């Protein structure tokens, strides 16, 4: 009888022991977790947080322990286009890009559910609030400052989540066609204004220079005569059908004197 019991026990050991060893082997394989350099693992034991696993070889006991993988690389979120009303009641469609990364993997898992979705939704609402507080001129002129303000607000709100917002860029600002035409006309009018002012300043400088030249020519003996000869020479070098008759100034003076004498006699 005892021999039979030993025989049965031996059979059980022979058949069950390999299965038990196989179970232990599979359990050991399932416990091995490899974490990449750009990742971190948040480990839970019986549902309680028990630490962050670094890159490399890690052990997680099945059934008793679980873990979540968190990517700590910089992630880019393309914020969908938002139709926003500015402070001066102008409609503008704005698209932005948010760059963020996970700085505290345990907080990203424990404090917020789906932190990627949360950051994206927060970026949309923050952009609408900030843009709604500025006018259209400020939005176009201070684009970088507004993006910096959005980044600071996002970084402050997401800090308890273990998320660091590195930067925000206003990717595109689309204005209504009618407003674009008005802005183009305004810019064109401003350019015309500057052109008129510059032309007037040029004429003023030119008149001053002409006055100085006239004074110098009248002070110099024969200066006007030399200037007249230079003008005639300039006209003769050009290919034109213009005829120039030169009359000595002495003859013109004599004619003027005679006309004056005749006028005096008539008046008498």
pLDDT digits over 143-184, tens only? Answer: 899 999 999 999 999 999 999 999 999 988 888 777 667 666
Average pLDDT estimate for 49-53 = 91
pLDDT band at 238 (very low <50, low <70, confident <90, very high): low
- Average predicted confidence (pLDDT) for the chain: 80
Alpha-carbon distance 149 to 232, whole Å?
A: 69
Residue 96's nearest CA partner among 155, 163, 173 is 173
Whether the per-residue pLDDT at 260 is higher than 90: the answer is no
Distance in angstroms (rounded) separating the CA atoms of residues 99 and 120? 11
Q: What does DSSP assign to residue 268?
A: -
Q: What is the DSSP letter of 7?
A: H
Q: How confident is the model at residue 259 (pLDDT cuts 50, 70, 90)?
A: low
Q: Rounded to whole angstroms, how far apart are CA atoms 65 and 46?
A: 6
pTM value surpassing 0.75? no
- With b for 16 or more beta-carbon neighbours within 10 A and e for fewer, the 22-61 pattern comes to eeeeeeeeeeebebeeebbbbbbeeeeeeebbeeeeeebe
Q: What is the pLDDT of residues 69-116, one digit of tens each?
A: 999 999 999 988 888 888 888 888 899 999 999 999 999 999 998 999
Q: Is the pLDDT of residue 11 over 70?
A: no
Domains and CATH numbers, the chain: 2-68 (no CATH), 75-175 (3.30.479.30)
Q: How far is CA 130 from the centre of its chain?
A: 16
Q: Give the model's pLDDT for residue 99.
A: 95
pLDDT in tens, 117-127: 999 999 999 99
pLDDT, residue 147, reads 92
Q: Is residue 31 scored above 70 in pLDDT? A: yes
Per the CB < 8 A criterion, the answer to whether 126 and 152 are in contact is no
Residue 175: name the closest of 246, 241, 106, 94 by CA: 94
Distance CA 71, CA 102 (A): 7
Q: Residue 56 phi/psi, 5° resolution?
A: 115, -150
pLDDT for 41 equals 92
- Residue 171 has a pLDDT of 86
Indicate if the pLDDT at residue 229 is higher than 80: no
């Amino acid at each position: 009888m005892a021999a039979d019991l030993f025989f049965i026990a031996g059979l059980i050991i022979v058949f069950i022991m390999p299965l038990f060893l196989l179970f232990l082997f599979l359990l050991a394989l399932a416990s091995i977790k490899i974490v990449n350099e750009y990742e971190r693992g948040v480990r839970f034991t019986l549902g309680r947080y028990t630490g962050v696993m670094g890159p490399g070889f890690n052990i997680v006991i099945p059934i008793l322990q679980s873990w979540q993988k968190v990517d700590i690389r910089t992630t880019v979120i393309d914020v969908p286009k938002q139709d926003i009303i500015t402070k001066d009641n102008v409609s503008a469609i704005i698209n932005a890009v948010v760059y963020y990364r996970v700085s505290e993997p345990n907080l990203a898992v424990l404090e917020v559910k789906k932190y990627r979705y949360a950051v994206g939704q927060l970026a949309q609402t923050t952009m609408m609030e900030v843009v709604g507080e500025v006018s259209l001129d400020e939005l176009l002129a201070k684009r970088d400052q507004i993006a910096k303000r959005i980044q600071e607000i996002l970084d402050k709100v997401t800090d308890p989540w273990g998320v660091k917002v590195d930067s925000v860029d206003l990717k595109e600002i689309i204005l209504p066609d009618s407003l674009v035409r008005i802005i183009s006309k305004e810019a064109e009018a401003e350019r015309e204004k500057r052109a008129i002012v510059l032309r007037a300043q040029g004429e003023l400088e030119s008149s001053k220079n002409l006055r100085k030249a006239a004074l110098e020519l009248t002070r110099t003996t024969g200066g006007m005569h030399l200037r007249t000869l230079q003008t005639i020479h300039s006209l003769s070098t050009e290919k034109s059908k213009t005829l120039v008759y030169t009359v000595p100034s002495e003859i013109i003076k004599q004619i003027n004197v005679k006309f004056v004498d005749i006028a005096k006699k008539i008046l008498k």
